[in-house]
């Protein structure tokens, strides 16, 4: 397919390639396995630089490797170690496309050396001439894709010798020969080269035109099928570039290739910034349930813990949000663990029978015999006697007291002091589940309670990204680029923002995932509050003060796993 002018990408003649070859000790990739590095920098078909050095691997070189490469242990004893060579090589290769024959081998050793000696692996674009030759050349061209065979085929000026710089020079000629073959196939840019490397069907390539109308802006894209049904929803910082990747070899997921084969159209919704795109994605997923989105096949159900409405309330796990509920929890199991832990801490019953106020004639259960239930079913507790337990649980949920948490912690300490370490560890993990649930509930509820909040995040170019949040939902989003007065933009966004009417419940009807997404964005470094109708605050009594204990528990659990 002929590409539009703005899709041509970087012409190959303008790309700087660094062709690299390594010699090693033959061991598995590690911080000190390299014995020689050779690299050649080329641009526009001309050599513009060379890099070559022996490297001390700090170990003896095996005889079979000496026979293959001619590099002996004596030759590398006076050579610099890899931690001294790496900075110079990384600087030499900075900004270039890395090329190697069987590139996976070379990059694994280089990455391991960087990781082992504290250097950041730059994650360069990599082209493998071995992979490229297998895509370009047929069996009639060559029976072998070894470097020596390809060097003979393309008449390389340097013969491979299993020495790094010689082999790098030979790979340069092989690369140029392969690129000449690709030119006749319409591959003229780096982007086309990278797309060509993996195996892509012609039908998949032809559908690249589905992305032609999309803007190079952040937003949400929707793949639609033959019946205009939504097949898949995703977000992108650059809509056109991201969608085009689905029609190239960079998309290797089988289900996505199947989806692309069915797609007839791609719709794009341009967004002001990434936060708006992520929120719109959540809403579109909930509205359309696309067949090829994993979250559509496994919808994220929220669970809540509530006090039942009866004379002797108990804690129940439900799916619907309501006033006084604790949550949301990501799974029913976590919600039940939190409910059981809280019930045990305050002395609430856990049985499901309905207990009459007058003349209860039930039979006490094992929990009553263990002292963990007051047995209101047998008339041992009146409604007045039972009420403090209900208030303690309700106070924790409302953020007005954390007495149940201290009670559960004291029980754990008693078990540990008595030598019941396994039981103490189980109770500790259960308390952690309750603590995290309470902490999350308070944070989300605090945001959802605010009628209107306006926040700004720097866009990295001297401008601002704005979000207007109403009762835990994104009501409006926009940007002010560098040089544009921000406050008039804020006023316009507030004036045009969506009206949000709160519903009953801690989150005021806002979807939990959307409120959590907004909370993460609002608490990210650099984000500033512009204005808010009421102060944004979280309860002082609750899980807020338990951070140090949770950190201590996390450290202890890590040590237990190591042991």
Residue 551 lies in a domain: no
Mean pLDDT over residues 334-349, rounded? 92
The catalytic position among 101, 117, 162, 300 is 162
Q: What percent of the chain has pLDDT over 70?
A: 93
Residue 177 sits in the same domain as residue 160? yes
117 catalytic per annotation: no
Taking 80 as the threshold, does the pLDDT of residue 286 lie above it? yes
Residue 360 sits in the same domain as residue 457? no
Taking 50 as the threshold, does the pLDDT of residue 201 lie above it? yes
What per-residue confidence (pLDDT) applies to 562?
42
Residue 175 sits in the same domain as residue 317? no
Residue 186 sits in the same domain as residue 289? no
Residue 114 lies in a domain: yes
Residue 186 sits in the same domain as residue 229? no
Residue 136 sits in the same domain as residue 259? no
Mean pLDDT over residues 328-351, rounded? 92
What per-residue confidence (pLDDT) applies to 296?
61
Higher pLDDT among residues 545 and 159, named by residue? 159
Residue 286 sits in the same domain as residue 309? no
Mean pLDDT over residues 121-134, rounded? 92
Residue 223 sits in the same domain as residue 293? yes
Residue 481 lies in a domain: yes
Residue 477 sits in the same domain as residue 393? no
Please tell me the least confidently modeled range out of 71-80, 143-152, 195-204: 195-204
User: How many residues make up the chain in this entry?
Assistant: 563
Report the alpha-carbon angle 318-321-324, nearest 5: 95
Taking 90 as the threshold, does the pLDDT of residue 563 lie above it? no
Write the CATH number for 133. Answer: 3.30.420.10
Of the residues 297, 322, 350, the one at which a domain ends? 297
Q: Given the DSSP bridges, would you call strands 16-24 and 97-100 parallel, antiparallel or unpaired? A: parallel
> pLDDT tens across 528-542, in order?
999 999 999 988 777
Range of the domain at 391: 305-437
pLDDT band at 297 (very low <50, low <70, confident <90, very high): low
Please write down the long-range contacts of 278-284, taking CB distance under 8 Å and 24 or more positions apart.
Answer: 278/235, 278/517, 279/474, 279/477, 279/514, 279/517, 279/518, 280/219, 280/220, 280/235, 281/220, 281/233, 281/234, 281/235, 282/511, 282/513, 282/514, 282/517, 283/511, 283/514, 284/220, 284/222, 284/230, 284/233
What per-residue confidence (pLDDT) applies to 294?
81
Mean pLDDT over residues 421-426, rounded? 91
Of the residues 194, 227, 242, the one at which a domain ends? 194
Mean pLDDT over residues 342-369, rounded? 81
Residue 223 sits in the same domain as residue 177? no
Q: What percent of the chain has pLDDT over 90?
A: 69
Residue 314 lies in a domain: yes
Taking 70 as the threshold, does the pLDDT of residue 317 lie above it? yes
Write the CATH number for 231. Answer: 3.40.1440.10
Of the residues 437, 470, 495, the one at which a domain ends? 437
Residue 485 lies in a domain: yes
Burial (Cβ within 10 Å: 0-12, 13-18, ≥19) of residue 530? middle
Mean pLDDT over residues 454-473, rounded? 96
> pLDDT tens across 236-264, in order?
989 988 888 788 655 556 788 889 889 99
Residue 544 lies in a domain: no
Residue 154 sits in the same domain as residue 76? yes
> pLDDT tens across 491-522, in order?
999 999 999 999 999 999 999 999 999 999 99
Residue 549 lies in a domain: no
Residue 222 lies in a domain: yes
Residue 268 sits in the same domain as residue 371? no
Burial (Cβ within 10 Å: 0-12, 13-18, ≥19) of residue 166? middle
Count of structural domains, the chain: 4
């Amino acid at each position: 397919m002929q590409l539009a002018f703005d899709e041509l990408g970087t012409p190959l003649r303008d790309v700087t390639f660094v062709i690299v070859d390594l010699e090693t000790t033959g061991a598995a990739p590690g911080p000190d396995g390299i014995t020689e590095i050779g690299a050649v920098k080329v641009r526009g078909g001309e050599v513009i630089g060379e890099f070559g050095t022996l490297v001390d691997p700090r170990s003896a070189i095996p005889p079979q490797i000496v026979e293959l490469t001619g590099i002996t242990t004596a030759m590398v004893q006076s050579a610099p170690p890899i931690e001294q060579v790496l900075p110079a090589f990384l600087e030499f290769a900075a900004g270039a496309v890395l090329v190697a024959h069987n590139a996976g081998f070379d990059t694994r050793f280089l990455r391991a050396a960087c990781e082992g000696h504290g250097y950041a692996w730059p994650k360069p674009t990599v082209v493998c001439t071995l992979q490229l030759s297998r895509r370009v050349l047929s069996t009639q061209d060559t029976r072998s894709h070894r470097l020596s065979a390809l060097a003979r085929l393309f008449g390389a000026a340097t013969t491979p010798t299993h020495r790094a710089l010689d082999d790098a020079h030979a790979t340069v000629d092989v690369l140029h020969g392969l690129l000449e073959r690709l030119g006749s196939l319409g591959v003229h840019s780096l982007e086309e080269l990278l797309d060509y490397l993996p195996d892509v069907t012609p039908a998949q390539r032809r559908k690249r035109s589905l992305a032609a109308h999309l803007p190079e802006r952040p937003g949400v894209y929707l793949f639609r099928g033959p019946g205009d049904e939504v097949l898949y929803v995703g977000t992108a910082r650059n809509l056109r570039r991201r969608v085009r990747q689905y029609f190239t070899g960079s998309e290797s997921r089988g289900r996505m290739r199947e989806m692309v084969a069915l797609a007839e159209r791609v719709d794009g919704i341009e967004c002001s910034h990434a936060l708006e795109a992520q929120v719109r994605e959540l809403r579109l997923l909930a509205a359309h349930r696309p067949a090829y989105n994993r979250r559509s096949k496994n919808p994220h159900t929220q669970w809540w813990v509530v006090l039942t409405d009866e004379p002797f309330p108990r804690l129940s796990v439900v799916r619907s949000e309501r006033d006084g509920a604790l949550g949301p929890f990501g799974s029913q199991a976590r919600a039940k663990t939190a409910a059981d832990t809280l019930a045990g801490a305050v002395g609430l019953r856990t049985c499901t029978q309905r207990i009459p106020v007058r003349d209860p004639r039930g039979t006490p259960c094992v929990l009553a015999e263990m002292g963990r239930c007051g047995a209101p079913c047998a008339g041992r507790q009146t409604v007045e006697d039972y009420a403090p337990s209900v208030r303690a649980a309700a106070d924790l949920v409302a953020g007005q007291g954390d007495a149940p948490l201290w009670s559960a912690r004291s029980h754990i300490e008693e078990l540990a002091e008595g030598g019941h370490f396994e039981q103490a560890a189980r109770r500790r993990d259960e308390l952690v589940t309750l603590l995290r649930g309470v902490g999350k509930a308070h944070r989300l509820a605090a945001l959802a309670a605010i009628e209107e909040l306006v926040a700004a995040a720097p866009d990295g170019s001297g401008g601002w990204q704005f979000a207007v949040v109403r009762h835990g939902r994104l009501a409006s989003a926009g940007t002010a680029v560098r040089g544009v007065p921000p406050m008039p933009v804020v006023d316009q966004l507030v004036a045009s923002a969506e009206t949000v009417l709160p519903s009953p419940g801690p989150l005021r009807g806002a979807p939990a995932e959307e409120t959590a997404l907004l909370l993460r964005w609002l608490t990210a470094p650099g984000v500033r509050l512009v204005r808010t109708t009421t102060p944004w605050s979280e309860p002082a009594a609750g899980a807020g003060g338990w951070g140090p204990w949770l950190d201590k528990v996390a450290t202890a659990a890590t040590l237990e796993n190591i042991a």
